[in-house]
Structure 1
Amino acid sequence: MQPQVHMTGQVTQELSLQHNRVLRNTYMLLALSMLPTVIGAVVGVQAGFTFFAGSPLISFLLFLGVAFGFMWGIERTKNSGMGVVLLLGFTFFMGLMLSRILQVALGFSNGASMIATAAGGTGAIFFALAGIATVTKRDFSFLGKFLFIGLVVVLLAMVANIFFQIPALSLAISGVAVLLFSGYILFDISRIVNGGEDNYITATLAVYLDIYNLFVHLLNLLMALTGERD
């Protein structure tokens, strides 16, 4: 009986070490992925990057096409170095796309401080929620269904607002999205900690998208509520 207990304990310890390794690699790749994002954003702002600005719907659909193309490629190559290359290419593309809202923010007299506040707020929310998921080791997988439904609703509302251009709806979408992607941070980090995700490239992609969207919607709220024109 004793050897069996010993073996069970050894397996549990090995699984725990594997989960910690995935989490550590995820954080390392996540930190690295911020570099091409920043480079892409700076290049986009300096170049005045636009993506079919004359047609918001076509721009949105093209963005989704390119983004899902990258994500499909990352998923297909997640067990090789090419997965890392595609992920970093994707984060550069997302940095370029981020430059659009940064250009709008910098049009306000307090634009730089709003961007800094959104970045700081995103960091604080991420570290707090990631800490909760890591320390408590609680399984937040039960949130998955609710978060997915919320994501579909937010996407549909965003598409609708392309046509209606209602400021109050944009504000409501961002408010819900901040809560939604905060929930996704708990969900995704919890999956890594509890062994639901064992590939650090896929894990990094999921957490990166959580952070990216959280930042964008926080900045959108700040611009709507505290933006100051000259």
Structure 2
Amino acid sequence: MSDFNTMRAQRVSGTRAAEIDAGLRAHMNKVYGTMSVGMLITAAAAWAISGLATTTDPSMAVAQLPNGTMLNTLGGAIYMSPLRWVIMFAPLAFILFGWGALMRRASAAGVQLGFFVFASAIGLSLSSIFLVFTSYSITQTFFVTAIAFGGLSLYGYTTKKDLSGMGTFLIMGVIGLIVAMIVNLFLQSPAMMFAISAIGILIFAGLTAFYTQTIKSEYVAHAANGDQEWLDKAAVDGALSLYISFLNMFQFLLMFMGQQE
């Protein structure tokens, strides 16, 4: 009788483990799917805005970039006026002060909508890359980033090594990176920008693996509770974390690989 109870407990445990594994795969698919939609929104917004902000008619131009690209009234407002500082720092302010409140108070659908609005705002702030770099180099850098991201995320998902210890170190690195970038806005030092880009690639490469493992661990820890609303929100939150890592790796790699117009 004891052996039968043991076998039954093992079957129940095995069934539960299989359910958690299946749920985890579905959860990760939702994370990557949401992130991918966010990336598409960002790319479409950046491309569209860069087109709307430029003109080929000299009579409509209000400013001209060093590479000869002419900006119309919209382009002048976005890239040349004080509004560019709002566009630059608004997404960061949202992450620091708005995202946590959204996660606490909004529904899962509201959180997802907030992420897509954020992705659109990032598209606005990134639109200038289409005015500076060639489309070929942007595409090439994107695919290199995608390959690196895929490998790093796969490592974070499959590794048995606990990566939580490096999380705090990497987040501190991000804070230092932001401070250095703000300082370099005024210094305009190419050497400092090169160092920032190199360090930034390493930091966000590490964060990609760290965030992937964290998403997996949090799902396994909370799956037994059956709180679907929380899991749906967690999927969007995980998508945001990976989205930010991907986007920053892309931008820093573009500093190295990008060919200017």
What is the TM-score with the length of structure 1 in the denominator? 0.83
> Does 2:186 match 1:163?
yes
**Match among 10, 13, 22 for residue 15 of structure 2:** 10
- Rate the CA distance shift 1:104–1:70 in 2: closer, same or farther, 3 A: farther
**Match among 85, 88, 94 for residue 113 of structure 2:** 85
Number of equivalent positions:
221
- Rate the CA distance shift 1:15–1:217 in 2: closer, same or farther, 3 A: same
The alpha-carbon deviation at position 74 of structure 1 amounts to 4.3
How far apart in 2 are the matches of 1:184 and 1:84? 22
**Match among 132, 146, 150 for residue 169 of structure 2:** 146
The alpha-carbon deviation at position 113 of structure 1 amounts to 2.3
How far apart in 1 are the matches of 2:91 and 2:108? 26
2:245 aligned partner: 210
1:43 aligned partner: 48
2:62 aligned partner: none
> Does 2:210 match 1:187?
yes
- Rate the CA distance shift 1:37–1:77 in 2: closer, same or farther, 3 A: farther
Deviation track 1:74-123 (CA, whole Å, cap 9, x = no partner) reads 42356421222111111111111111233222xxxxx2222122111111
RMSD between aligned alpha carbons?
2.6
The alpha-carbon deviation at position 157 of structure 1 amounts to 0.6
1:108 aligned partner: none
Gaps of 5+ in 2: 1-5, 54-74, 221-230
- Rate the CA distance shift 1:64–1:134 in 2: closer, same or farther, 3 A: closer
How far apart in 2 are the matches of 1:31 and 1:62? 22
SS of residue in 2 equivalent to 1:195: helix
How far apart in 2 are the matches of 1:67 and 1:195? 20
Query: Is 1:33–1:87's contact at 8 Å kept on the other side of the alignment?
Result: yes
**Match among 96, 106, 129 for residue 101 of structure 1:** 129
- Rate the CA distance shift 1:53–1:68 in 2: closer, same or farther, 3 A: farther
1:114 aligned partner: 137
How far apart in 2 are the matches of 1:216 and 1:228? 14
The alpha-carbon deviation at position 70 of structure 1 amounts to 5.3
Deviation track 1:42-74 (CA, whole Å, cap 9, x = no partner) reads 122113346464557666444533454553454
How far apart in 2 are the matches of 1:127 and 1:215? 13
SS of residue in 2 equivalent to 1:194: helix
Query: Is 1:139–1:194's contact at 8 Å kept on the other side of the alignment?
Result: no
- Rate the CA distance shift 1:170–1:196 in 2: closer, same or farther, 3 A: farther
- Rate the CA distance shift 1:72–1:89 in 2: closer, same or farther, 3 A: same
Q: Percent identity?
A: 22
How far apart in 2 are the matches of 1:53 and 1:72? 32
What is the TM-score with the length of structure 2 in the denominator? 0.74
